[in-house]
Amino acid sequence: MQRIMLDAEAGQVSAELAHRGIAAATRVHVLVDIMPDEPEPIPLAAMNQGGGAFDWLGDEPDLYSDADLAAPRS
């Protein structure tokens, strides 16, 4: 089985396959990922959580609690 990854507009898939030497009568299995025009930015918090750089903080003791909060001034 031969695998090819294309990055093409929907109307250009057949032309792109032909450009790569795949005959029009060839049966293909296609998986489609619809790409947005502009990728959505990844929120900074999600990037930090996914990166794992701060995982060590889960093992650290909590230094402060709600009891340490100062009462609001009047």
Q: What is the pLDDT of residues 43-52, one digit of tens each?
A: 888 888 888 8
How many domains is the chain partitioned into structurally?
A: 1
Residue 25 covered by a domain: yes
Q: Which residues of 40-55 are buried (b: 16+ CB within 10 A; e: fewer)?
A: eeeeeeeeeeeeeeee
Residue 74 covered by a domain: no
Are 22 and 15 in contact by the 8 Å Cβ rule? The answer is no
Residue 17 covered by a domain: yes
CA 21 to chain centre: 31
pLDDT tens-digit readout, 4-49: 888 888 899 899 999 989 898 999 988 888 887 777 788 888 888 8
C-alpha–C-alpha distance, residues 18 and 40, integer Å: 32
Domain span including residue 24: 10-59
